[in-house]
Structure 1
Amino acid sequence: MESGQGQAIFTAECTHSFHFSCISNNVTYGNYVCPVCRAKWNDLPFTVPSYNPNVKDNFNPNPDNQVPQPQVPVRSRSISEREPILFSDDEPLPSVTVDAASSASPADLQNVSVKAIPERPAIASSESVPEFAVLVGIRAPSLSEHIHQFHRAPIDLVTVLDVSGSMHGSKLALLKRAVDFVIDNLGPSDRLSIVSFSTRARRILPLRRMTEQGRENAKRSVNSLSASGSTNIVEALKKGVQVLEERRHQNPVSSIIFLSDGRDTCYHGTRFQTFSSPRQPPQYLHLLPVSICPENRGTEDHSQRQTFPVHAFGFGTDHDPLTMHAISDASGGTFSFLESYEMVQDAFASCIGGLLSVVIQELCLMVRSASHGVEIKSISSGRYASEISNEGSQGLINVGDLYADEEKEFLINLAVPVYRSIEDEEDDSNTTSLLDVTCSYRAIMSNDMIQIDGDLVTIRRPKSPSPLEMTISLEVDRQRNRLSAAQGITEAQQMAETGNLMGARALLSNRRSTLLTSASGQAGDGLCLWLESEMKEMDGRMASMQLYERAGRAYALSNMSSHAYQRATTRGSSVPGAVESGNFSFGASGAAHHGSFNAYATPNMANMVSKSHQLNKTGDSSQTKQ
């Protein structure tokens, strides 16, 4: 009213403004597109009719008026209608019958497997070692095909989708197709909500179960999307979090898939950006909810809010990788870099292949010193929270959810003292117990907390170990190589941000040489070959500052995200799970990617990507025939 000097002004989602009385009359007669740019509107201006309980047609409050009043057909209105103030309208969860949940046989109810491997099998009895590594690994059980829906945790998934003006044309069409693929692969116990954003964010689908009717409603919502306006990342994520925070019912797994092809144009350059460098995540991250950025919690906020992982997808080469990586990293999610628009469906397929196979929750790995004088010095746990307590006698790693067949490996560095035997110091049969390893977790099938005890880790303490006993374990060596490569990429990325591309490339070259001359590298280990190709690819993307800013920065950050959580991410043109074992695919710089390790992809991820490929082939075949 103020800007219209007494007349109400309606500003459409395409940003064009009109006198309310003029445009509402235009819409009343069935014109649902902008008169200026012809963009289709989802939010329509309307006048709230007066309500008369004695009149059957409340859209015509004057029954004596003989002139028929034009009405907006119900089917033409936005699927989402008007957003409620609170998002407590989520669809109730289905009740699972006891017979269905207990249909699994005992053979199907597998436990987490735990392994612990010392750096070498023996230490001389007279020797003290300040840093002796023990590899501790865990592996989740597999999913059985015939009880798949009961064996995994159902999910509440919110997709937060960029529909700003830059997403017009084929990009938006490919995004719609990818979201349709996600919809088709969710089960009736899974629930989906869709938030779209441009200048502002809108929830276009409440949290609904993906039954046959739910899928139909979800696809209609996706089909209604149109591209226009600017990019408001802050409001988009706030709305996605609101869906999860205000729901009445909760599935065991909650997650957000966030895709954008641009930078935030609503907060970027404002007072929130004053102290931020263009090469640092923006200051406006402090505006995001605590449930995706826990560090935003104030000193007086002692609430134990659930954290929702945000799996962020940077679409194309114009997105903001620093911001998207910072958001995903803070929330415990992953950051993927989609260099080609055509790969968005495969990238989504790989991601939901993991999310739809959660079989273990709240997993906690515990290690305890098993002998006096054996002290835990450090734990290499990446971004998983870890702590050492009781003067180095106890360590803890909080892992959380595990996908089916997913593996995590951690190096525990110990200080091992000189061996003292009261009975016989010359006895070559002496041993030292190093670690007790246990893990606890919540099983999806029974919802019970289960504890698994690993084998006691011991080493021999002969007076003079044989050369074979001094040989470094290949599994420990390959894990050291992984940590070295991950650290190298992180340091190279930091150097590149300061403009020191020459130093960054030299660092990567040195790490590659060290890796290839290591014991596991010489043995042709698949992980080592993959790490070497990743660093070679990163080197190629640092050939110039222009190339680095266009494709190297996002590639490095997606790589860092993957190693930090030992979880698959799409990086550049490589989708995890898409390469057959032993084959090669090629990235932007021409470096080969060896598939024998396959970038942390689980079998369920690979199966989902294969399903996406098959669907694409079917679609291409149909178009060719037409």
Structure 2
Amino acid sequence: MGSKWRKAKLALGLNLCVYLPKTLEDSSPSSLDSAERLSDAALLSPANWAMGSSRPTTPTPSSHGLKLSRSGSKSSKTCSICLTKMKQGGGHALFTAECSHSFHFHCITSNVKHGNQICPVCRAKWKEIPVQGPNLDPPPGRAAIGPVGWSQNDALVTMVRRLPPPRRDLSRRHIVPLYQAHEPGVFNDDESLDHQPVFDERSSCNKNGTGENFCRTIEIKTFPEVSAVPKSSSSDNFTVLVHLKAATSVTRQNPSRNQSSLPQFSQTHRAPVDLVTVLDISGSMAGTKLALLKRAMGFVIQNLGSNDRLSVIAFSSTARRLFPLRRMTDTGRQQALQAVNSLVANGGTNIAEGLRKGGKVLEDRRGKNPVASIILLSDGQDTYTVSVSGANQPQPNYQLLLPLSIHGGDNTGFQIPVHAFGFGADHDASSMHSISEISGGTFSFIETEAVIQDAFAQCIGGLLSVVVQELQVAVECVNTSLFLGSLKAGSYPSRVMADGRRGFIDVGDMYADEERDFLVSVNVPAESSSNLTSLIKVRCIYKDPLTKEMATIESGEVKIERPEVAGQALVSIEVDRQRNRLQAAEAMAQARAAAELGDLAGAVSTLENCRRVLSDTVSAKSNDRLCVALDAELKEMQERMASRHVYEASGRAYILSGLSSHSWQRATARGDSTDGSSLVQAYQTPSMVEMLTRSQAMLLGSPSAQRLVRPLCSQPKPR
């Protein structure tokens, strides 16, 4: 029977895709094996994005070089777009281009639909492009459509379209791609928000004795460095630790998804997100890098909720918006996956243009979700806006890479945090760190390709759990004879008022279960009569992202005892631990400055001295987890400064990602792992860990992970 179908195919034309019904003689054990597992990038296919789901595949019309053979054939290739096998007779039509490279027809038509007219493999320009033809699904109750029905369908002859010559825009003096999507001048075409009712029930709400609800989104604790100071003693630099912890977010089981064993992020008890991803698709991203980036974006799309909105900016020599801010409903996810799947690597690296469009998407939007953020990934250096400084040139102004809509100028503070991900050994870690630091985001160093998805997972695990916004911490002296000395708040903007009695720290957003620690120094005068001295009180002012209401929480007064006779002062472990963290961060910054000047030996010595000092502290001697992790991190940084080559390849980025993590007290991807060290775990929240677990469970189910993943740095770091 198969031969008759082939004769019918030849009679209709060689360029037509014919659906061949399988017969017993065509069957083979290999064709009956339906347990073949999807590769990593196959998760990008809308048909397969929900793990474990399956639906019957139907043939799609192909064009140019059609590949049809008996289903028992053992020949197979790999589609360069989705990285899955192209098994002849497997139910998918194949397209072979003029350059002899083959693809799944549905993959390449999606590629062409989004403006690409060149081969994703060899970059050859095509004169003919595949066009989606009619649906050849068999009608209900029939095994296949007969040749009579095909011969009457005039649309079949349009499955190959010859491209007209490219038109020129004389005003811009360059060729304009015919299929490039038109972008409006104002990005106010964002999808409207779905206003869901806000529930009063919150994870941090409880019933008090009268039966009324009360919420406590922020927990405040204070720790003086010692609990007692003799009356006759005074101190000009007495330290008080202010510890904040955000409430736990609500999660619930969502049985509609296959990963029902893992709790899903609640769509009604958390603030929805407007997320813009700005992705580098320059020529250096071609191959495995781009395939794994697509897989990571597939994971992000899969785990955003129906109230979250996503827009994707792709940049190389220029930048384009793939689609406007769109809600991640089932339809939105499928369209987003198709757009990401169409990306092809080519051209240079224009980070500034990508960020400009990313900022414009959020600036021009008509509706605004409570949380907004940008994720930036690049593996190269921007050569269009900021020139690389030489030995005798000043440091480049990386603020030029950020539009005002993101950093808001020098006086207004940051508006849109950019979480930057430096990818591989050739990215400009200094610029990526500066972008994140200026905007209020974090900088992560992705050393190994395998970490892309995990790094994204950790980041969105935090973004999807924001419980506090616009948080400001106010510190006020209680005793009239006390004055504030300093507020050690890392990268968070802080200030002490002119009277010296009040200070403020601008914290901004906090994720669920996230913690912040700030050291406040005050003077403690000698006491003549009282047995207690009141030092400070703390007040937190913040906005609830769901109700948009402002709330205020105050701590009790911080007091110390004033005995007549000095006893043995017991130093607070909590205060000592945070002193060590700040001291380690300062040593990292000094070591990096020395390394940039070429003094690697001095940088290593600075780190070694810090390790020695930390080892003598109270918290280190008690085997405090943070102190152990700090020592391991400092040692790792020493090893990454073994030579100039090692420092350039990974040392600089590793140190900068560490500084970013400590200055914002927020987890970042570091080197080749997101969860392999206790240091990273010190800043991870349960929401981040949960999303990481989901990502790693998905990766374990991908048989081609080991084949695709390889280190990006050619020089292995010394051990």
- Shift in alpha-carbon separation, 1:113–1:305, aligned structure 2, 3 A: closer
Displacement after TM superposition at 1:266 (Å)? 2.6
Report whether the alignment pairs 1:219 with 2:337.
Answer: yes
Find 1:606's aligned residue among 667, 680, 689: 689
Report 1:360-509 matches (<5 A). Answer: 360-421=468-529, 430-467=531-568, 470-509=569-608
Q: Distance in 2 between matches of 1:152 and 1:36?
A: 43
- Shift in alpha-carbon separation, 1:414–1:78, aligned structure 2, 3 A: farther
Displacement after TM superposition at 1:445 (Å)? 3.8
Displacement after TM superposition at 1:89 (Å)? 0.2
Which stretches of structure 1, 4 residues or more, deviate above 4 A after TM superposition? 34-37, 68-73, 77-80, 275-281, 621-624
Report whether the alignment pairs 1:85 with 2:168.
Answer: no
Q: Distance in 2 between matches of 1:483 and 1:31?
A: 50
Specify the alignment match of 2:321 in structure 1.
203
- Shift in alpha-carbon separation, 1:326–1:287, aligned structure 2, 3 A: closer
Contact 2:414 2:438 in 1 (8 A): no
Q: Distance in 2 between matches of 1:615 and 1:362?
A: 35
Q: Which runs of 5+ in 1 are unaligned?
A: 1-26, 45-67, 422-428, 579-584, 586-592
Report whether the alignment pairs 1:512 with 2:578.
Answer: no
- Shift in alpha-carbon separation, 1:379–1:306, aligned structure 2, 3 A: closer
- Shift in alpha-carbon separation, 1:420–1:254, aligned structure 2, 3 A: same
Contact 1:88 1:248 in 2 (8 A): yes
SS at match of 2:590: helix
Report 1:172-183 matches (<5 A). Answer: 172-183=290-301
Contact 2:385 2:401 in 1 (8 A): no
SS at match of 1:292: helix
Contact 1:79 1:221 in 2 (8 A): no
Specify the alignment match of 1:13 in structure 2.
none
Contact 1:276 1:282 in 2 (8 A): no
Report whether the alignment pairs 1:342 with 2:427.
Answer: no
SS at match of 2:384: coil
| TM value normalised by structure 1 | 0.80
Q: Distance in 1 between matches of 2:705 and 2:672?
A: 25
- Shift in alpha-carbon separation, 1:473–1:35, aligned structure 2, 3 A: closer
Contact 1:237 1:288 in 2 (8 A): yes
Q: Distance in 2 between matches of 1:376 and 1:328?
A: 30
- Shift in alpha-carbon separation, 1:283–1:574, aligned structure 2, 3 A: same
Contact 1:381 1:397 in 2 (8 A): yes
Q: Distance in 1 between matches of 2:383 and 2:227?
A: 58
- 1:214-273 CA distance string (max 9 Å, x none): 10110011001001111111111111111111111111111000000011133354xxx6
- Shift in alpha-carbon separation, 1:373–1:173, aligned structure 2, 3 A: same
Report 1:14-29 matches (<5 A). Answer: none
Specify the alignment match of 1:193 in structure 2.
311
Report whether the alignment pairs 1:359 with 2:359.
Answer: no
- Shift in alpha-carbon separation, 1:544–1:32, aligned structure 2, 3 A: closer
Contact 1:258 1:310 in 2 (8 A): yes
Q: Which runs of 5+ in 2 are unaligned?
A: 1-111, 130-157, 164-176, 207-213, 253-264, 708-719
Contact 2:351 2:401 in 1 (8 A): no
SS at match of 2:627: helix
SS at match of 1:195: strand
SS at match of 2:701: helix
Contact 2:418 2:435 in 1 (8 A): yes
Find 2:200's aligned residue among 102, 110, 115: 102
Specify the alignment match of 1:292 in structure 2.
406
Contact 1:533 1:594 in 2 (8 A): no
Q: Distance in 1 between matches of 2:447 and 2:454?
A: 12
Q: Distance in 1 between matches of 2:558 and 2:462?
A: 32
SS at match of 1:256: strand
Specify the alignment match of 1:317 in structure 2.
425
- 1:477-509 CA distance string (max 9 Å, x none): 001000000000010000110011111111111
Specify the alignment match of 2:232 in structure 1.
126
Contact 2:120 2:344 in 1 (8 A): no
Paired AA for residue 200 in structure 2? S
Displacement after TM superposition at 1:389 (Å)? 1.1
Specify the alignment match of 1:158 in structure 2.
276
SS at match of 2:703: helix
- Shift in alpha-carbon separation, 1:178–1:78, aligned structure 2, 3 A: farther
Contact 1:151 1:359 in 2 (8 A): no
Contact 1:80 1:221 in 2 (8 A): no
SS at match of 1:456: coil
Report whether the alignment pairs 1:228 with 2:228.
Answer: no
- Shift in alpha-carbon separation, 1:440–1:305, aligned structure 2, 3 A: closer
Report whether the alignment pairs 1:572 with 2:671.
Answer: yes
SS at match of 1:482: helix
- Shift in alpha-carbon separation, 1:386–1:36, aligned structure 2, 3 A: closer
Q: Distance in 2 between matches of 1:38 and 1:495?
A: 44
- If you compute each CA radius of gyration, which structure gives the higher value, 1 or 2? 2
Specify the alignment match of 1:32 in structure 2.
117
Report 1:300-311 matches (<5 A). Answer: 307-311=415-419
Displacement after TM superposition at 1:306 (Å)? 6.4
- Shift in alpha-carbon separation, 1:37–1:565, aligned structure 2, 3 A: same
Specify the alignment match of 1:50 in structure 2.
none
SS at match of 2:314: strand
Q: Distance in 1 between matches of 2:499 and 2:385?
A: 46
- The alignment yields a C-alpha RMSD, in angstroms, of 2.9
Contact 2:355 2:401 in 1 (8 A): no
Q: Distance in 2 between matches of 1:621 and 1:458?
A: 60
- Shift in alpha-carbon separation, 1:226–1:151, aligned structure 2, 3 A: same
Specify the alignment match of 1:18 in structure 2.
none
Specify the alignment match of 1:616 in structure 2.
699
Paired AA for residue 539 in structure 1? Q
Contact 1:79 1:204 in 2 (8 A): no
Between the two proteins, what is the percent identity of the paired residues? Answer: 48
Q: Distance in 1 between matches of 2:670 and 2:236?
A: 38
| TM value normalised by structure 2 | 0.70
- Shift in alpha-carbon separation, 1:546–1:363, aligned structure 2, 3 A: same
- 1:339-398 CA distance string (max 9 Å, x none): 001110000000001011001111111111010211100000011111111421111111
Displacement after TM superposition at 1:281 (Å)? 5.2
Displacement after TM superposition at 1:521 (Å)? 0.1
Paired AA for residue 186 in structure 2? L
SS at match of 1:615: helix
Q: Distance in 2 between matches of 1:31 and 1:287?
A: 27
SS at match of 1:323: helix
Q: Distance in 1 between matches of 2:690 and 2:663?
A: 24
Specify the alignment match of 1:167 in structure 2.
285
Q: Distance in 2 between matches of 1:79 and 1:152?
A: 39
Q: Distance in 2 between matches of 1:122 and 1:378?
A: 21
Contact 1:291 1:331 in 2 (8 A): no
Q: Distance in 2 between matches of 1:622 and 1:194?
A: 25
Displacement after TM superposition at 1:34 (Å)? 6.6
